[in-house]
Amino acid sequence: MTTMTTPRPANRYIAWPSLIWIAVLHLGAMLALVPGYFSWTALGVCLVLHWLTGGIGICMTYHRLLTHRSFATRPKWVEYVLTAIGCAASEGGAIGWVADHRRHHAFSDEEGDVHSPNRGFGWAHMFWWMTPDITSEHTADYYAKWAPDLLKDPVHRWLDRYHFIFPITLGAGLYGLGYWTTGRGMPLLVWGCFMRSILVLHTTWLVNSATHIWGYRTHETRDHSTNLWWVALLTYGEGWHNNHHAFQTSARHGNRWWEIDMTYWAIRLMSFVGIAHSLKLPKMTRATATKVEPAQAKKAKRRRGDEEPELVGTAK
């Protein structure tokens, strides 16, 4: 599949706070090239925290729980704890993340999409947040339009406003833990904070870029979303992106037996122990595997604001 590069709108700005923070993380990750900062323990911490902050915090919580409400937690404070874990991934606060992603689904691969690869792979991957369109600036009006449910919640407002506290605290904690246990704090800081953050950022950004360019399509959605196995492995199931765009509020993205979806496994485990409920799942039929609602009809419904949900069943 090829992409067409279209000019960026004239009304854009540079997101300096985000740009500086992500640049610092990339510079810090370069310290991993120093042999003295490597340890197998630090590498293990990096991998575990990649799953915790990226898989649980972003893929499961920010995306499937908060954006699409594909399941619910019991009690409510579990949602807040999971959101705090997502904040530690350095992808910003949940309200802004959810607002951008809901807008992406509303205008997927169209002019209003915040990170469409129609503007090029680089734009879809990371340039979109560096120089975003003025229409996607994170203002109160933007939040009220795209994430009104989260904006009404005072706990989510606090977490979104002070999201930067969590990655900083995690980094300081890792340094302190390493110094206390081994007398060397840098390995855990470099690998558990800097390198882990960069890996989480780029793997999740691949869902915006790679899975709208390469891969196979099981469903005839109105956009260019694809299923891409290696992105799915890196993002704990998020790479089955065409499945997701066909059934946006489904808790499960891997619909075939070989489409591994570790995030859904985690949700099922939470359901088994009683802290997750009301899982939304698609009722797969032979027809749904090859055809979805025609693009023009679906687009018209979206513009009228009465688009039907894609799912027809739920699981307790």
* Predicted confidence (pLDDT) per residue in 202-230, tens digit: 999 999 999 999 999 999 999 999 999 99
* Predicted confidence (pLDDT) per residue in 235-294, tens digit: 999 999 999 999 999 999 999 999 999 999 999 999 999 999 999 998 766 555 544 444
* Residue 13: per-residue pLDDT: 83
Compute the distance between CA of residue 240 and CA of residue 211 in angstroms, rounded to an integer: 8
User: Hey, what are 312's tokens?
Assistant: 């027809």
> Helix, strand, or coil here: 313?
strand
- The residues with which 72 forms a beta bridge, in sequence order, are 277
Compute the distance between CA of residue 152 and CA of residue 57 in angstroms, rounded to an integer: 21
> Helix, strand, or coil here: 280?
strand
CA atoms within 13 A on the CB side of 240: 24
Compute the distance between CA of residue 98 and CA of residue 109 in angstroms, rounded to an integer: 17
Compute the distance between CA of residue 275 and CA of residue 266 in angstroms, rounded to an integer: 11
User: Hey, what are 253's tokens?
Assistant: 């993205």
- The residues with which 281 forms a beta bridge, in sequence order, are 313
> CA 232, 66, 105, 158 torsion: positive or negative?
negative
Are the beta carbons of 225 and 217 closer than 8 angstroms?
yes
* Residue 6: per-residue pLDDT: 46
pLDDT exceeds cutoff 50 at 231: yes
Q: Which amino acid is at 80?
A: Y
Mean pLDDT of the chain: 89
- Which residue, 296, 34, 11, 25, is CA-closest to 167? 25
DSSP H helices, 107-164, are 121-122, 128-130, 140-146, 148-151, 154-161
How much is the average pLDDT of 164-176? 98
Sequence-separated (6 or more) residues with CB below 8 Å from residue 209 = 115, 117, 121, 124, 125
> CA 150, 268, 84, 242 torsion: positive or negative?
negative
* Residue 39: per-residue pLDDT: 97
Compute the distance between CA of residue 185 and CA of residue 192 in angstroms, rounded to an integer: 11
> CA 249, 154, 84, 79 torsion: positive or negative?
negative
